[in-house]
């Protein structure tokens, strides 16, 4: 005991003992914190709560730093949305209020309106399934940024894609086409949507323009995913026609695509836009390969 006390009376030994203690405690903190997180302690503290639900109050309290605060809130929106997506949750109750606060703090934060409307309008589990809230957000964006014609494109898109209101979509595209600086194809889009409504060709045109004009990688990727789904839908319809034709002419249903190739209906085994071969189900219907990255539910 005395020798131990003597040992610790030396500063160097004491320092080493302290370092060891600090290290051990740090290592002990990791499993403890994980256990607390697993039991939901942190979720409870973080909660689905907005302590200050008004962006205008926050603006007053920000003492002139509302731009920075808007950026922080926008990051919070992205984290909230990303967290919900990762957790496969369909409850996005704070999304609308968080976007409202963000855009109250900085009414010129274009990205918050554009991405926010996508987050809000997409059907669960991809989004909140609140297209009406998306419309309100975009309309606020238009009021705050009347010169930004792309909000009209987004507005028309929500009407077209999520609400299937083709007349309103055509009106939005038309209104957008009349804004200064708007692309000429907006006018063509308005005419096409007004004339052909919910046809796949119209959707294809719409998504192609979005993919072509996208200034952001995520928006482009989303548009390309939709284009792949549209292409696969068209191809499946054509292949189903060929399978039906084979059945009609050969007097028996095709068991595989090899039979169609052998009979000269196809030049090669058909592949979907992601490169995976299509499959022929037992019911005689053409289906996507289970490992295909094409998501047909995007078109629902």
Interface residues with other proteins (CB under 8 A)? 9, 11, 14-15, 18-19, 21-22, 25-26, 28-30, 32-33, 35-37, 39, 41-42, 44-47, 49, 76, 79, 82-83, 86
Let me know the angle formed at the C-alpha of 58 by 55 and 62, rounded to the nearest 5 degrees: 135
C-beta of 61: minimal distance to other proteins in Å? 15
**CB closer to other proteins, 35 vs 89:** 35
Report the nearest approach of other proteins to the CB of residue 128 (Å). Answer: 18
Q: By C-beta, is 21 or 132 nearer to other proteins?
A: 21
Nearest residue (CB) to other proteins, 28 versus 67: 28
What SS3 state is found at 295?
coil
Provide the minimum distance between the beta carbon of 21 and other proteins in the complex, in angstroms, as a whole number.
5
Give the 3-state secondary structure of residue 52: coil
Cβ proximity to other proteins, 25 vs 195, nearer residue: 25
Q: Give the nearer residue to other proteins in terms of CB position, either 19 or 65.
A: 19
> Is the backbone of residue 73 left (phi > 0), alpha (psi -120 to 50) or beta?
alpha
Cα 110 to Cα 122: distance, rounded to the nearest angstrom: 19
Say what angle helices 131-144 and 95-105 make with each other, to 10 degrees: 0
Spatial distance between the Cα atoms of 227 and 159, rounded to a whole number of angstroms: 19
Alpha carbons within 13 angstroms on the beta-carbon side of residue 250 total: 16
**Alpha helices per DSSP H over the chain:** 2-8, 11-38, 41-46, 55-61, 66-86, 95-105, 110-121, 131-144, 150-157, 166-177, 185-196, 200-213, 217-250, 257-262
C-alpha 296/C-alpha 292 separation (Å) is 10
CB of 130 to other proteins, least distance (A): 22
Q: State the nearest-atom distance from the C-beta of 47 to other proteins, in Å.
A: 8
- Considering the complex, what minimum distance in angstroms separates the CB of residue 8 from other proteins? 8
Task: Tell me whether residue 85 or residue 204 sits nearer to other proteins (CB atom).
Answer: 85
């Amino acid at each position: 005991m005395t020798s131990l006390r003597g040992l610790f009376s030396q500063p160097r030994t004491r320092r080493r003992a302290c370092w060891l203690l600090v290290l051990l405690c740090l290592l002990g903190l990791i499993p403890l914190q994980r256990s607390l997180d697993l039991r939901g302690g942190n979720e409870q503290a973080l909660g689905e709560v907005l302590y200050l639900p008004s962006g205008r109050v926050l603006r007053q309290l920000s003492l002139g730093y509302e731009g920075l605060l808007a950026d922080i809130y926008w990051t919070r929106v992205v984290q909230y949305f990303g967290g919900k997506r990762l957790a496969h949750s369909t409850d996005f109750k704070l999304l609308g209020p968080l976007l409202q606060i963000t855009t109250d703090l900085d009414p010129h934060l274009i990205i918050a309106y554009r991405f926010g409307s996508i987050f809000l309008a997409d059907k669960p589990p991809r989004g909140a399934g609140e297209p009406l809230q998306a419309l309100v957000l975009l309309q606020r964006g238009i009021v705050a940024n009347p010169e930004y014609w792309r909000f009209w494109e987004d507005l028309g898109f929500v009407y077209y894609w999520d609400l299937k209101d083709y007349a309103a979509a055509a009106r939005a595209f038309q209104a957008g086409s009349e804004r200064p600086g708007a692309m000429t194809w907006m006018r063509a889009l308005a005419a096409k949507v007004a004339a052909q409504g919910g046809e796949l060709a119209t959707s294809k045109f719409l998504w192609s323009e979005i993919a072509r004009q996208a200034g952001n990688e995520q928006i482009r990727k989303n548009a390309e995913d939709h284009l792949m789904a549209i292409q696969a839908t068209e191809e499946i319809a054509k292949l189903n026609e060929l399978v039906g034709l084979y059945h009609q002419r050969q007097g028996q249903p095709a068991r595989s695509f090899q039979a169609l190739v052998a009979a000269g209906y196809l030049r090669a085994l058909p592949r979907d836009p992601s490169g995976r071969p299509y499959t022929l189900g037992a019911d005689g219907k053409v289906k996507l390969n289970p490992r295909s990255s094409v998501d047909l539910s995007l078109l629902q």
